[in-house]
Structure 1
């Protein structure tokens, strides 16, 4: 190519291809014979960063620039259509292109199209491509149309993206309108931009366009408007989610119902532009909560009344304890005293039957004295001050053994402590606990077998396996007391700890049926548990588990 044709000097790849092509083999001939308006148009086109295509002459020869080159894709028309007749170059879409070209070539008019779909062959296949373009006439000095300049943009991606967006919006609206939950969109000033069918139906508005802006203020309870403004305002300032509860009027009934409203910020180009949210009717839950609150208030009042009655009963119990310890014991002591005087001074004058009756009076008085003392002990386990101290179990057991010395000597019994330990207890209560258990073990021994009682201790750290109310992260002491006495049937293992429960008649064994109830209450006072097991005529085992340190 002769360098004097400066209109082809630049233009990148397409300028080079035009310079290298042998135009002498085409009807156009060499560039030195090309008309001035063709040269000028090509120079402008080759140096333009905007996609351009030129149809030239009667056969509409094809020219295009580097910016247009990507539109042709790969494995398609490029570069063979350079200089080719328009009908040959665009055979697959000529029926769409030719009528538009005729408007320009025959009438000299420019035309413009936006997002027009014209299929072309590119990338090795036919593709539906959307174009936004203008067709403009290129005239010679006589004013005749010599060619058509096409300025074009491939808008396929934008069109498809818009279609996907519209389809997504259509599906969103379809799903939203099927939802029983309210779905809404607002801007930062709480102007409604979208509301689904459930919301529209509730407030009685047919068209979505009629429920925009701040129309919502007409259906929200007046007392709740401040809740909305405050909640939305804070969420806008902080750009955070929010949850509000307020009342909205139902069109059908005119009644206000409670709704729980949740919103999340909506962003566009990293800027918050409003909220997307939902709302759910919670009126029934609110009503239930109100009823529950009323019920709780009623039950609280009833509980307070019960507590008052309980306090009154406690006072009565204290009065009973006072009467038991003073008023009841005084006449009882007089009965015992006069019975003893009569037995001492008038015994010889009594008949055999009379002597037996007086002996029964004395026996009954002793049992009553024992019962009163046990009842007082039982009541005091809850009312007396509890001062915990660390004691050595060995010393306490020795003390109890001394108290039981006569009984042990009489029955040739033995109490053995295998392993001792220190633990924190209320000393006088725990002494009573050990006394009751050990005295029972001696008392309920078999007639022909000397009582043999063993006490053993063990430190455990998995106390929850013993009882779910205990704690695994705390150190406990398990005290096991085993005897070889008369035992009991396993079905009575729980019952023996109840007040006044006796497994044997008072003729067989003396007792009030309160001793083990006192033991259980003392164990509970020490935040522990007690259990019993036994076999009839083989013996009993009592296990106490309580914290080593309170």
Structure 2
């Protein structure tokens, strides 16, 4: 049955209005198994106009993953017992390469006869690609917000929270979102804090669009009051610019407060350790090496008072430090990050026109910041003047002792030489009478030995033996007294010596 001109005009106007709104129309006559599409619907299905497609041809342009869902929804729509409305979203692809062209939302209805037989399926389709992309972006942001470690909330104009992420629910002691929506913000603050919020935070947000600062909140279950850093912004309607809600991002400051307290306690302990250390300790900071801290032992070593040193440049406190190379040593530690050691270093100190020389063991130890740079240097100094002077005195004593030993040795060598000479002369002079006595004995032996009585012969032999022993003793004495003697060792029969004695 064809439409009258008036009906066709109405249909055309209706289709034009829908296409102007970005909506296409499909109409499936189930009795004739024909599908009619509006002009814009052809574009949405990526089909050439004028071609009357089949259901299979339309599904060929749908993403394969989405086809199963379409069949499931159509089954409920065509079931007379259900008669569900058709509402679906799916992707249109290029059948040649499978590339996704856009997303469509399809809405329609199946019409049944009086005997519950479907005879017509009609509806609309709309390109929702931008909506899908916005929805995906929104989901990403929501996932990011919901998994943030900081509290994120939305406060409506009626002073109730419509959203609170997981971190916020845990921070404030909520069990579920319904509890969040039913709890007024006054329950999350002390009366003094809620007065501060109403008098300062909310007015600033409404007038300037934001407020940032530290405030207190209360845990819903434990009642604990703790500080948070709150960044609050006004959320406006993008069209009317009227305030819609207030968004807040809060950071729990308890860890920071605890860390700051621990740091302060650590610094306090460190300062106590430095001030009570048994060695001189000084800390300098910055490019100009400003004296930040110095204990009493360091003041003694440096020959300065605390007033002269604290907060001043090393070069100003110790004018002699530059000429003696200490400033350059400090710069080397900063540039290299390596400690510098000095042992028994001679230092000329000046104060009020006076000067003194001391000897110091020192260590310049770099103190690293979190970023790895050296902003401070710890100076460990020990006055070793007494030790150095004692070593010098000991060295001088050793040198004096060595000199005296050398003099005494020379004196002994001289006396030994004199003794050797005396011994040599004495032994030589004593040998002469012995030789003559041996000569006379030999003469008597040759001429009168046979005429001697037995007694005289015995004594004559004893005289010869005594002369030999005396001659040998003088030779041994001469050899022993000589400084250039060569020692020899030989076996001696002590029995024979005892027998001859």
* 2:410 counterpart of 1:308: yes
Q: How does 1:354-369 map to 2 (within 5 A)?
A: 365-369=467-471
**CA shift at 1:170, angstroms?**
1.3
Match of 1:134 among 215, 231, 236: 231
Residue 54 of structure 1 is matched in structure 2 by 154
**CA shift at 1:351, angstroms?**
12
Residue 195 of structure 2 is matched in structure 1 by 99
Residue 392 of structure 2 is matched in structure 1 by 290
Residue 299 of structure 1 is matched in structure 2 by 401
Judging changes above 3 Å, is the alpha-carbon distance between structure 1 residues 368 and 319 closer, same or farther for their aligned structure 2 residues? same
What SS does structure 2 have at the residue aligned with 1:161?
helix
Q: Deviations over 1:83-106 (max 9, x none)?
A: 52453x673544464123212446
Residue 197 of structure 1 is matched in structure 2 by 295
In structure 1, how many angstroms separate the alpha carbons of the residues matched to 2:432 and 2:458? 25
Judging changes above 3 Å, is the alpha-carbon distance between structure 1 residues 331 and 184 closer, same or farther for their aligned structure 2 residues? farther
**CA shift at 1:174, angstroms?**
0.8
**CA shift at 1:297, angstroms?**
1.4
Q: How does 1:430-469 map to 2 (within 5 A)?
A: 432-433=488-489, 435-436=490-491, 439-440=492-493, 443-444=494-495
In structure 1, how many angstroms separate the alpha carbons of the residues matched to 2:387 and 2:377? 26
Q: How does 1:525-540 map to 2 (within 5 A)?
A: none
* 2:219 counterpart of 1:120: yes
Contact kept, 8 Å, 1:262 with 1:277, in 2: the verdict is: yes
Contact kept, 8 Å, 1:324 with 1:372, in 2: the verdict is: no
Contact kept, 8 Å, 1:259 with 1:279, in 2: the verdict is: yes
Count how many residue pairs are aligned between Structure 1 and Structure 2: 362
Contact kept, 8 Å, 1:183 with 1:277, in 2: the verdict is: yes
Contact kept, 8 Å, 1:57 with 1:147, in 2: the verdict is: yes
Contact kept, 8 Å, 2:231 with 2:250, in 1: the verdict is: yes
Residue 306 of structure 2 is matched in structure 1 by 206
Contact kept, 8 Å, 2:214 with 2:229, in 1: the verdict is: yes
Residue 28 of structure 1 is matched in structure 2 by none
Q: Deviations over 1:197-253 (max 9, x none)?
A: 222355332246344442342366x9xx43535655665666533321232649799
Contact kept, 8 Å, 1:248 with 1:259, in 2: the verdict is: no
Contact kept, 8 Å, 2:284 with 2:378, in 1: the verdict is: yes
* 2:365 counterpart of 1:267: no
Match of 2:378 among 276, 294, 307: 276
What SS does structure 2 have at the residue aligned with 1:77?
coil
In the alignment, structure 2 segments of 5+ residues that lack a partner are 1-87, 89-104, 106-127
Q: TM-score, normalised by structure 1?
A: 0.51
Residue 84 of structure 1 is matched in structure 2 by 181
**CA shift at 1:282, angstroms?**
0.5
What SS does structure 2 have at the residue aligned with 1:185?
strand
In structure 2, how many angstroms separate the alpha carbons of the residues matched to 1:81 and 1:365? 139
What SS does structure 2 have at the residue aligned with 1:183?
strand
* 2:171 counterpart of 1:70: no
What SS does structure 2 have at the residue aligned with 1:214?
helix
Residue 283 of structure 2 is matched in structure 1 by 185
What SS does structure 1 have at the residue aligned with 2:181?
coil
In the alignment, structure 1 segments of 5+ residues that lack a partner are 17-43, 386-428, 446-505, 512-550
- For the pair shown, the structure with the greater C-alpha radius of gyration is 2
In structure 2, how many angstroms separate the alpha carbons of the residues matched to 1:353 and 1:237? 110
Q: TM-score, normalised by structure 2?
A: 0.55
**CA shift at 1:283, angstroms?**
1.1
**CA shift at 1:45, angstroms?**
8.3
Residue 4 of structure 2 is matched in structure 1 by none
In structure 1, how many angstroms separate the alpha carbons of the residues matched to 2:293 and 2:348? 15
In structure 1, how many angstroms separate the alpha carbons of the residues matched to 2:220 and 2:446? 138
Judging changes above 3 Å, is the alpha-carbon distance between structure 1 residues 106 and 262 closer, same or farther for their aligned structure 2 residues? closer
Judging changes above 3 Å, is the alpha-carbon distance between structure 1 residues 376 and 134 closer, same or farther for their aligned structure 2 residues? same
In structure 1, how many angstroms separate the alpha carbons of the residues matched to 2:435 and 2:186? 132
Deviates more, 1:321-330 or 1:301-310: 321-330
* 2:172 counterpart of 1:172: no
**CA shift at 1:49, angstroms?**
11
Judging changes above 3 Å, is the alpha-carbon distance between structure 1 residues 45 and 342 closer, same or farther for their aligned structure 2 residues? closer
**CA shift at 1:278, angstroms?**
0.8
Contact kept, 8 Å, 1:265 with 1:275, in 2: the verdict is: yes
What SS does structure 1 have at the residue aligned with 2:470?
helix
Contact kept, 8 Å, 1:195 with 1:211, in 2: the verdict is: no
**CA shift at 1:305, angstroms?**
1.2
Q: Deviations over 1:361-389 (max 9, x none)?
A: 76654443333333455467x7467xxxx
Judging changes above 3 Å, is the alpha-carbon distance between structure 1 residues 301 and 254 closer, same or farther for their aligned structure 2 residues? same
